[in-house]
Amino acid sequence: MSENVRPWGHYEVLQSATHHQVKCVWVDPGKRLSYQRHEFRAEHWLIISGHAEVTLDGVVHRLGAGESIDIPVMAKHRISAPTDQVVFVEVQTGTSFDEEDIERFEDDFGRA
């Protein structure tokens, strides 16, 4: 398992294989990930704790513990923690799980 720190929080890779990867992600209060999409993977997010706002192709979904959402390949998406820390499990399926498969449209931290 590896832990990776980002400006919005951190994540830990729980499992990685040829066609899937599983992460636990912590988003700090008031932070959000970049608005992005992936060409080679779909994602399923299960909220473990906190109150998340997920933007999926321009539509905002408010999710709490025990709720989940599917992120199809090429869908623009982001998750934010507007009030409290959000913890979620991310299951990725596809053919590429590296940072090269991120197309960012908006980022609070100036990343391209």
Domain boundaries, the chain: 2-98
Token pair belonging to 10: 């951190």
Please identify which residue in the block is written with the tokens 């590896």.
2
pLDDT category at 112 given cuts 50, 70, 90 is confident
Residues 110 and 62: their CA atoms lie apart, in Å, by 25
Question: Over 60: is that where the pLDDT of 62 sits?
Answer: yes
User: Residue 102 phi/psi, 5° resolution?
Assistant: -130, 120
- Classify domain 2-98 by CATH architecture: Sandwich (2.60)
pLDDT category at 99 given cuts 50, 70, 90 is confident
Q: What is the pLDDT of residues 13-59, one digit of tens each?
A: 999 999 999 999 999 999 999 999 999 999 999 999 999 999 999 99
